[in-house]
Amino acid sequence: MKILVADKLSSIGIDFLKEQDGFDVIEIYELPKEERQEELLELAPEMSGIIVRSDSRITREVLEKAPKLKAVGRAGVGVDNIDIEAATDHGVVVLNTPGGNTIATAELTFTHMLCGARPVPQAVASMKAGRWDRKILVGSELRGKTLGICGMGRIGGEVAKRAKAFEMTLIAYDPFLAESRAKVMGVEQVEKDEMFARSDYITVHMPLTDQTRHMIDEAAISKMKDGVRLFNCARGGIIKESALLDALDSGKVAAAGLDVYEEEPPNEDHPLRKHENINLTPHLGASTQEAQESVGLEIAQAVTDAVKGGEIRNAINMPSLDAETIEKVGPYLDLCSKLGTFVQQIALDKVESLAIYYYGKVMDLDSDSLTRGVLRGFLQNISGRNVNFVNARALVDSLGVGVDVVNSSEESDYTELIRVQAQCRHGETVSAEGTLMGKGNSPRIVSINDREVELEPCGYVLVVANSDETGIVGQLGTIIGNAGVNIASMSLSRNKVGGIAINLAGLDSPLDEATMSEITSIEAIKQARLVYLEC
């Protein structure tokens, strides 16, 4: 079996691969980047496994040329350079190393914070230039300052631990972090605008999603203290670079540190490169000897197991199961994932706990795998591409969200049924139930908040809860039509005459904020959410 190492991997990982019986390890990382991509395409037909970092791209074209390919491993967290959908279509497992760079990134974040407080890089440059600028290179202390942490996942939590040792006051913004978990971690949980207003230092530890892109822009910076310091070692694009540059020029932001950028690498003449009050590093988050050795060995072991038919670990697109179990539970995993993400999107407030119920024949399957599928879906819009079947449970635990799994003996209208129920912070409950239908075992959502519906969970869905009265459907149709959006399907349900009805409208494209505001302004409508479910 041929294993292609396309990008530079630690020697410990390479050695592990070469020690495996039956492996022919091919290394092409010494080639220039573009030549390497061409060589990857040329070699793909004979490969059983491919290992990359961030340079080489595993595209649909590569996958279509690789009939023997069983696994693609990413020595790192991000998998933006791998076509996950195409890999799944071709039955190729995609693996990553989600925890290997946690400490390295947290320590780099703190390095940037320290350099933002004390002008060490400027002092080094001054000394090397033969000057003694002691009087003008005055810094400040971290002790007693308020640190705002955006995102309290693994890395955010490690930053918080270190900030406590520096006697900083910790506040955190994470819309999905349970209050109980925040207390355990010793941080005060606040809303985003309050964090902006109170923080002396702000550091970002969130995935790049539609919700977090340019989260820190001109409007956000205007709400901050004069002289605030900003740091991003997470994903480029969360801080809007043009807004940061203007704020540095005006002095609103006293100092900043970036390890990631909207475009990598940034242009040679990018104005941020020349600004004296910002420290820039070339995406060094995972660039420690320990982290590289850890992820190198971890991905080598994971790819070896996957290629040889052993246990699958750290999989992005399938659970960590043997092949026989995957064959049995496979059809249900997509349903579980969609139920999880659907409930997360219709939740009225922060989710404190999840209850997952299995009915009928589903109880005979591996419930741990199904539960991880639900949790992966629940986290999809929270943790972005970093979430997989392996780390989903740990990520939910880190948010402080309780999970209860029940194999129910109660009878159901379906031979197999899965129910996902979320308990929100102020006592509200939302739920969705689903099953598989037809010869193709297609997933269907058959109940929402205990109202019977039939919904193919695919694409944009407008979910409306309204008083059961005449004219609502007509008003919705008119508003959506005026927005130029086509309604592909509709499903209606109510709990009783004159009670609360559920209207579901499958849409060909999303609705803008103005249209959603017009819908929610209808007096009879109690709630309206636009949900997106990957097809």
Provide CB contacts within 8 A for 496, sequence distance 6+: 468
pLDDT digits (tens, 9 = 90+) for 297-346: 999 999 998 888 777 777 877 655 555 666 677 778 888 989 999 999 98
Q: Which residue in 35, 179, 263, 264 is the catalytic one?
A: 264
Name the residue among 144, 202, 142, 216 with its Cα closest to residue 171. Answer: 202
Determine, yes or no, domain membership for 285. no
What would the pLDDT profile of 452-478 be if each residue is shown by its tens digit?
A: 888 888 889 998 888 888 888 888 889
235 is catalytic: yes
pTM comes to 0.65
**Average pLDDT, rounded, for the chain:** 89
CB 419 within 8 A of CB 430: no
Same domain assignment for residues 396 and 330: yes
- Cα–Cα distance measured from residue 347 to residue 399, given in angstroms and rounded to the nearest whole number: 16
> What CATH number does the domain containing 516 carry?
3.30.70.260
Please give the full DSSP string across 267-306, using - where no structure is assigned: PTT-GGGG-TTEEE-SS-TT-SHHHHHHHHHHHHHHHHHH
Q: Residue 163: pLDDT band by 50, 70, 90 thresholds?
A: very high
Q: Which residue has the higher pLDDT, 522 or 51?
A: 51
Residue 485 gets which letter from DSSP?
A: -
Query: Based on the structure, what is the number of domains in the chain?
Result: 4
In sequence order, what are the residues at sequence separation of 6 or more whose Cβ sits closer than 8 angstroms to the Cβ of residue 331? Answer: 436, 441
Which residues make Cβ contacts (< 8 Å) with residue 396, sequence separation at least 6? 354, 375, 378, 379, 403
467 and 449 in a common domain: no
Q: How many CA atoms lie within 13 A of 106 on its CB side?
A: 19
Using DSSP, how many helices (H) and how many strands (E) does the chain show? 17, 22
Annotated catalytic residue: which of 235, 372, 419, 451? 235
Q: 513 and 441 in one domain?
A: no
Let me know whether 357 and 369 are in one domain.
yes
Is residue 128 pLDDT above 80, yes or no?
yes
> pLDDT tens, 223-277?
999 999 999 999 999 999 999 999 999 999 999 999 999 999 999 999 999 999 9
Strands lying side by side in the sheet with 71-74: 24-27, 2-5, 47-52, 71-74, 93-95
> Do residues 63 and 177 both lie within one domain?
no
Residue 422 sits in a domain whose CATH number is 3.30.1330.90
**Which residue among 397, 424, 456 closes a domain?**
456
Is 502 domain-assigned? yes
Contact 429, 422 (CB under 8 A): yes
Is residue 248 domain-shared with residue 305, that is, in the same domain? no
Closest Cα to residue 370, out of 312, 325, 424, 315?
325
Residue 212 in any domain: the answer is yes
CATH number, domain at 66?
3.40.50.720
Whether residue 164 lies inside any domain: the answer is: yes
Catalytic residue among 198, 283, 385, 494: 283
Same domain, 466 and 445: no
Asked whether the bond before 443 is cis by omega within 30 degrees of 0, the reply is no
The C-alpha angle with vertex 390 and arms to 211 and 80, in degrees rounded to 5, equals: 45
Residue 328 lies in a domain: yes
Same structural domain for residues 109 and 202?
Answer: yes
Within a domain: residue 144?
A: yes
Both 260 and 276 in one domain: the answer is yes
Tell whether 483 and 443 lie within a shared domain. Answer: no
Same domain, 336 and 310: no
Q: Is residue 404 part of a domain?
A: yes
Single residue among 399, 423, 456 that ends a domain in this structure: 456
pLDDT number for residue 356: 93
Within a domain: 233 = yes
Instruction: Report pLDDT digits (tens) over 84-118.
Output: 878 876 778 899 987 778 899 999 999 999 999 99
Q: Quote the domain boundaries for residue 49.
A: 2-98+290-317
Query: 456, 475, 509: which is the final residue of a domain?
Result: 456
Q: Which of the four pLDDT bands, split at 50, 70 and 90, describes residue 386? A: low
Which amino acid does the sequence have at 308? K
Q: Do 313 and 335 sit in the same domain of this protein? A: no
